[in-house]
Amino acid sequence: MLTVGYIASGISLICWIMTLIQMFKKAGALQGILGIICGIWAFVWGWLNVKDTNQKTLMMVWTVVILIGMVANYMGMSELASNE
């Protein structure tokens, strides 16, 4: 299950970068830098500006991937703990 978590993390990273690109274009450098420092702000900004940036599919994918990653990592850690 940890492999699924790693894949989900990679896809999440790609979604974060694509959102950062839109942040720099639409909201300016200050918002973009804030999105780099605080990834959750990039996620919130992406949902708040989903109509302006026309990235609904990206934000849906990012949300689902975050949830899948959380479940996969929890299950993977539980599996590792039970093997001890």
Burial class (CB in 10 A: 0-12, 13-18, 19+), 16: middle
Q: Output the six-digit token pair for 15.
A: 């979604």
Q: Report the alpha-carbon distance of residue 16 to residue 62 in Å, rounded.
A: 8
Percent of the chain with pLDDT over 70: 93
Q: What does the pLDDT average to over 61-81?
A: 87
Convert the pLDDT of each residue in 35-50 to its tens digit: 999 999 999 999 999 9
Left (φ > 0), alpha (ψ -120 to 50) or beta: where does 29 sit?
alpha
| pLDDT number for residue 81 | 74
Average pLDDT over residues 20-39: 96
pLDDT confidence band for 4 (50 / 70 / 90): confident
Structural domain spans, the chain: 2-78
Number of Cβ within 10 Å of residue 44's Cβ equals: 12
Cα gap 40→12, rounded to integer Å: 12
